[in-house]
Amino acid sequence: MLIELSESMGTFLGDETGNHIAEELALQVSRIYERAQHETLALLQSRPTQNVVAPVYEWMSATQLAE
C-alpha cells in the first residue's frame, strides 16, 4: 500500500517533495489503521462474554405431523 500510494501521488505532484508527502501520508494512514485495530481488539476483549441460551421449542415429530 505504501509503495502504490507513493507512486500514484508522486506522479500527481510530479516532484521529490510530492513523493515525500505521499510517503508521510501513507505512513500516517497505516499508523491510524494499526491503532484503530489495536483499540478495537482491546475493547472487544475487555467486554464480558454473554451466554445466549436459545429457547427450546417443543417440536412435533414426523409421526405426529403425519397424524
- pLDDT of 17: 84
CB 12 within 8 A of CB 18: yes
- pLDDT of 1: 46
Q: In the chain, what percentage of residues exceed pLDDT 70?
A: 78
Mean of pLDDT values over 27-52: 92
Specify the pTM: 0.49
Overall size of the chain counted in residues: 67
- pLDDT of 12: 55
pLDDT band at 16 (very low <50, low <70, confident <90, very high): confident
